Structure 1
């Protein structure tokens, strides 16, 4: 049974998140419906990251098994045709055949996220649901300094959802970088894996530092408390984008 690796782009605004749910439309369900319309197969697809409601993706990775050996180009174009006809905001950027042992989730060596903040006095019109609007001035240099305090292996209990199902709160954060270009602040985060809501929690807390509500010492104290109640503001979902996952070239 051929296995395909899919690279997916989506606007998460109308969806309940990646994972299929009984009472709402998910990104996973949307693609699986397109697969059924294409070839009549009911199949479950797995993803590198189970993004939440409202979260977007430039480069989500998923894998798909089909009984017929279709060309990768045919799978991509057929799925996109059905997604376009259904007026979805999910599209397949690339499809390639991979060995059966490839798993979008468990084969991933790293995951990368982007968080976008528009920092200005005026509310957002074109960027609504695409970025977090923060009207109070943020010092991106101070945010960058704070972010570096969180790099490395830590118990991130403070910065994960109370509903997080990860067996351990200990994660190794490889990158958390803050840059500013005009009114746009971007935060880029990389790790092998993340806790539920970890990126949004980290972004919100370093924004607290950037606006002067917290000091660097306050951020470190919150980390050390290992208590969700010590977390700062949690940044909204609509500013977050999954931008890619890393895999070994030898599968």
Structure 2
């Protein structure tokens, strides 16, 4: 049978999602080891999106195949007993064989949290990106609207990105202020390597007054990463939601952005 799981994790102490030959600590390795123990056989998982070192997730979706028969709560509780404290299984359900966590996804959403105040974070250290200089969230939102739609995002991906095509359809981009926090939310059919962090880097430069609002569009049109802005830190980035066809009945966990700010 094929089982889908929902995961959340704090990526601060992981070397990204994907298992590496060097054997460093990764989310995939931790989850596969836990599930293999519960299933009593080796398990390989496939994720909706591969997050980088330091990036978090509150709604990652994975799937795996198994011949072990366990109730949903058995997968949840059994895996969570074996997992480290910074990873948790939120839900589990059997899905049709044609379901694929990555290839069945219709869209993905990331959130980027910026703590915008003079003092650095303590409680939220490594869970938000700290920018001490004042940011104009309204200007950042306005500047980001030029990125909506289907574009060649070469300027907004790392030069090491292995995606065959740089074209993505960015459905929405919002930037809003909530007290000392500036939150960017981006929804697209898919993302390139470092795409969200590079967008955040450009909008931070605009919001701080270092660049004019038109710069976001100029960077896009250059189609040259060397002419783009800085790559924003990983600390504030969260893999927030995955969209699937209703037929799969994949749970959607509503997350209030304010929960991070408490």
| TM-score interval for Structure 1 and Structure 2 normalised by the shorter chain | over 0.9
Q: 1:209 — aligned with what?
A: 206
In structure 2, how many angstroms separate the alpha carbons of the residues matched to 1:145 and 1:135? Answer: 21
**Cα drift, residue 223 of structure 1:** 1.0
In structure 2, how many angstroms separate the alpha carbons of the residues matched to 1:121 and 1:144? Answer: 22
Q: 1:10 — aligned with what?
A: 9
Task: Give runs of aligned pairs for residues 115-154 of structure 1, distance below 5 A.
Answer: 115-154=112-151
In structure 1, how many angstroms separate the alpha carbons of the residues matched to 2:67 and 2:25? Answer: 26
Q: CA RMSD in A?
A: 0.9
Q: TM-score, normalised by structure 2?
A: 0.92
The correspondence for 2:218, drawn from 217, 221, 245, is 221
In structure 2, how many angstroms separate the alpha carbons of the residues matched to 1:248 and 1:241? Answer: 22
Contact 1:18 1:28 in 2 (8 A): yes
CA distances 1:139-158 after superposition (whole Å, capped 9, x unpaired): 00000101111111111100
Contact 2:143 2:214 in 1 (8 A): no
**Cα drift, residue 238 of structure 1:** 1.1
The correspondence for 2:105, drawn from 105, 108, 125, is 108
In structure 1, how many angstroms separate the alpha carbons of the residues matched to 2:245 and 2:217? Answer: 34
Structure 2: 5+ residue runs without aligned partners?
Answer: 249-262
The alignment partner of 1:174 has SS state of strand
Q: 2:49 — aligned with what?
A: 49
Asked if residue 93 in structure 1 is aligned to residue 78 in structure 2, the reply is no
Asked if residue 170 in structure 1 is aligned to residue 176 in structure 2, the reply is no
The alignment partner of 1:28 has SS state of helix
In structure 2, how many angstroms separate the alpha carbons of the residues matched to 1:208 and 1:118? Answer: 15
Structure 1: 5+ residue runs without aligned partners?
Answer: none
Which one is further off, 125-134 or 66-75?
66-75
* Matched residue count: 247
**Cα drift, residue 74 of structure 1:** 0.8
Contact 1:4 1:72 in 2 (8 A): no
Task: Give runs of aligned pairs for residues 169-208 of structure 1, distance below 5 A.
Answer: 169-208=166-205
**Cα drift, residue 57 of structure 1:** 0.5
CA distances 1:89-115 after superposition (whole Å, capped 9, x unpaired): 101000011001100000000001110
Contact 2:141 2:175 in 1 (8 A): yes
In structure 1, how many angstroms separate the alpha carbons of the residues matched to 2:211 and 2:165? Answer: 27
